[in-house]
Amino acid sequence: MDYLNDKLNIVLSNYEEKLNKRFEYLKNEFVAIRAGRVDTRLVERVTVDYFGTLTPIKNLANISCADARTIVINPWDASVLSPMVKALNVANLGTAPVDDGRIIRMVFPQLTEETRKDLVKKVRKIAEESRVGMRNERREAIDQVKKVNNETKLSEDDVKNVEGDIQKMLDDYIGNVDTILAQKEKDIMTI
């Protein structure tokens, strides 16, 4: 029986790890969506071709917020300034980077009501995609439990208990998705 529990524990552990990865991905996606104030994390993920290697901007420059709508990027190496501007243009962050020869400034426009509503639709779509992915992970985990059950006949109670644990984990993670979605919507709609 310990052998069976080990197999089921591995299934549950892998399942929880996959749910957690999906949740972390969702949080990172939400960071990239600007609410009222700009956040340096909007540009940190943009990668630049630096001597043949794609490198995140955060590894090549100091990034700061000059005010609620302006991000300032101060590269440590002046030779990367031009490729950085190109990468920021390609990233399509909602504004064009302005290069003065030493630093890059990105002044983001004030969000309009229509833009805010579009951003809310976007975060809802991303959250729903995350929920669907989590449900798919649940289906795979339940299939794995059934496979373990077929290999080594488990009691019905054991199978139901594990399936209940799988569903509870899913419910908890979806609750977390709903919580951060509500917070992000509030941040976007707050002027």
End position of a domain, from candidates 107, 134, 157: 107
Are residues 49 and 27 located together in one domain of the fold?
no
145-188 confidence digits (pLDDT tens)? 888 888 887 778 888 888 999 999 999 999 999 999 999 998 88
Are residues 97 and 9 located together in one domain of the fold?
no
pLDDT for res 150: 83
Note whether 113 and 128 are within 8 A (CB).
Answer: no
Average pLDDT score over residue span 53-66? 89
User: Residue 57 is part of a domain; what is its CATH number?
Assistant: 3.30.1360.40
Whole-number Cα distances in Å, 121 to 124, 173, 184: 5, 21, 11
Are residues 84 and 153 located together in one domain of the fold?
no
pLDDT for res 15: 94
Are residues 120 and 93 located together in one domain of the fold?
no
The domain total for the chain is 2
Are residues 171 and 134 located together in one domain of the fold?
yes
Are residues 103 and 121 located together in one domain of the fold?
no
End position of a domain, from candidates 69, 86, 107: 107
Q: How confident is the model at residue 4 (pLDDT cuts 50, 70, 90)?
A: low
Are residues 121 and 185 located together in one domain of the fold?
yes
pLDDT for res 175: 95
Residue 103 has pLDDT above 80, yes or no: yes
Are residues 130 and 100 located together in one domain of the fold?
no
Least confident of 27-36, 57-66, 105-114, 143-152: 27-36
End position of a domain, from candidates 107, 128, 156: 107
Are residues 70 and 120 located together in one domain of the fold?
no
Are residues 125 and 184 located together in one domain of the fold?
yes
Are residues 101 and 165 located together in one domain of the fold?
no
User: Residue 137 is part of a domain; what is its CATH number?
Assistant: 1.10.132.20
Exposure class string for 94-117: b at 16+ Cβ within 10 A, else e: ebebebeeeebebebeebeeeebe
Average pLDDT score over residue span 70-86? 90
Least confident of 16-25, 36-45, 124-133, 178-187: 36-45
Q: What pTM does this model have?
A: 0.76
DSSP the chain: -HHHHHHHHHHHHHHHHHHHHHHHHHHHHHHTS--SS--THHHHT-EEEETTEEEEGGGTEEEEEEETTEEEEEESSGGGHHHHHHHHHHHT-SS--EE-SS-EEEEPPPPPHHHHHHHHHHHHHHHHHHHHHHHHHHHHHHHHHHHHHHHS---HHHHHHHHHHHHHHHHHHHHHHHHHHHHHHHHHH--
The domain containing residue 28 runs over which residues? Answer: 2-32+112-189
Are residues 116 and 185 located together in one domain of the fold?
yes
Q: How confident is the model at residue 191 (pLDDT cuts 50, 70, 90)?
A: low
